[in-house]
Chain A
């Protein structure tokens, strides 16, 4: 199965032991696929070794981006962590190894984006 890495780029940020992960498709037309496949639950499961708390997903259709806010990073808290990557910056690349189903060909005249609530969080995955 293809990986998220084939479709999207990702950046991790940290605030204490909270990690933020943006997931942005290289092609806007892949946004609906990401909305469907890259759920808070799947992210939580995929990063279970690294994230102990809840994961909230924000949908940003205006930007064609998903944004995940992850509570309680296991090795988190840059100042006192014993991990090599004490910031958790490499979580972004770990997330890109998430398998996603092969997308169909991009259709340039597709109607575009599904009507998701604007940036509202989904029910958090615990």
Chain B
């Protein structure tokens, strides 16, 4: 079977996915669009308007991708449901065209039953001690997606699901694998882990001009994998696209965010990467094998979002002769004027050569206090060193993330099927 990676984060480019749908002869395309904080931010939008909370670019992305996917018979699996998969499903079925089925996977939202006195993994403090908790989402596994695939869905929308599980499920469904088989779950998880960041596998985070050049980055292509029934997988990108898919890029991605190469834990399996082999099979073709799996963890990880107040960032630039000392003086002035402010404060001078920038960052629950920080930087125009320019001030809300674990039997994934609007009308 052939599975492509069409997005590695919410803001990712859309063109490479279009190209994969047109020319990739794919069975499945996965769009991974859900960072840890995104779901907490979505939850807040949903509180303000119950029809929102899904990925902000869902309509833009699907308007371009769904016609191509339907035409080519490519199934799409994505976590763009974010904090509101059902609302995402309703919008998506309107974009499907004359026919087709959307399946929505729910059950990751465990906020209602969350024990706020449970300790956070990061610091051992009770969850409630971090701030007002606004979201709690369990990382669902491939088993939560499987019923949606077996029901014949053309598009699967989820909320929080472990990234590799988005790939493991369609691979296992196409190849008739058993998710309980740790060897098969390990193979599919390894493939998913390599594909989940899309362009990071094809050289999109690798170029170092003069040291290691990557051709055609402006037309970077995204990867796809050909997976055999035995779990052996080769990784490719489309001819004519930019980038590089090599042992170097594959090994970087293999170890990316791995905190224990002997035990990478997902809801599906505990993956051991130590025996993995990565071999070049041709230009931009790499074969990967050797995943070893152990039985999946008993508990599911839960990502908990809490209100962490607000953050302001402000800056001003100094250039030319003596710029470093003028920026340093500006930093001293701001530190003096903000001495004693009840906010976390960071004042630093960045840059080099003949261009330096004062950067001031502050965090607090009191947004009025943070406004003062911005004004003190802006005031340097007429109350500071010579020649400052380019003041920018930005203030935004901060969602903090901590994690905890819940027993599997406390999480109840479910699938809702929705037919295309036009089909329902006829």
Binding site for B on A (CB under 8 A): 5-6, 9, 11, 13-18, 20, 22, 24, 26, 58, 60, 62-65, 67, 69, 77-80, 82-84, 118-119
Contacts and interface: CB of A to CB of B under 8 A. Distances in A.
Contacts of B399: 79
Nearest to B403: A16
Contacts of B255: 11, 13, 20, 22, 60, 63, 65, 67
B361 interface: yes
A34 to B, nearest CB: 13
B259 A83 contact: no
Given A26-B248, A62-B277, 9 more contacts: A11-B253, A16-B401, A16-B403, A20-B256, A24-B248, A60-B255, A60-B274, A63-B276, A80-B308
B344 interface: yes
Nearest to B362: A82
B261 interface: yes
A44 B322 CA distance: 34
A64 B255 CA distance: 12
A50 to B, nearest CB: 13
Interface residues of B, number: 43
B259 A79 contact: no
Interface in B310-336: 311
Nearest to A8: B248
Contacts of B259: 15, 18, 20, 69
A65 B251 contact: yes
Nearest to A25: B248
Given A26-B212, A63-B251, A84-B359, A9 B206 contact: yes
Nearest to B309: A80
A9 B398 contact: no
B377 to A, nearest CB: 14
B129 interface: no
A67 B273 CA distance: 12
Nearest to A14: B257
Contacts of A84: 350, 359, 361
Interface in B229-256: 248, 251-256
Contact of B212 (A9, A13, A17): A9
Given A9-B248, A24-B251, A80-B398, A62 B274 contact: yes
Nearest to A10: B252
28 contacts: A5-B208, A5-B211, A6-B211, A9-B206, A9-B212, A11-B253, A11-B256, A13-B256, A18-B259, A20-B256, A20-B258, A22-B252, A24-B248, A60-B261, A60-B274, A62-B290, A63-B255, A64-B251, A67-B255, A67-B258, A67-B261, A77-B400, A79-B37, A80-B311, A82-B362, A84-B359, A119-B262, A119-B274
B252 A62 contact: no
Given A5-B211, A9-B212, A80-B400, A63 B278 contact: yes
Contact of A79 (B257, B274, B345, B400): B400
Nearest 9 interchain pairs by C-beta:
A13-B257, A119-B274, A22-B255, A82-B346, A82-B361, A11-B252, A79-B400, A13-B256, A79-B401
Contacts of A9: 206, 208, 212, 248, 252
Given A14-B257, A69-B259, A22 B251 contact: yes
Interface string B352-379: 0000000101110000000000000000
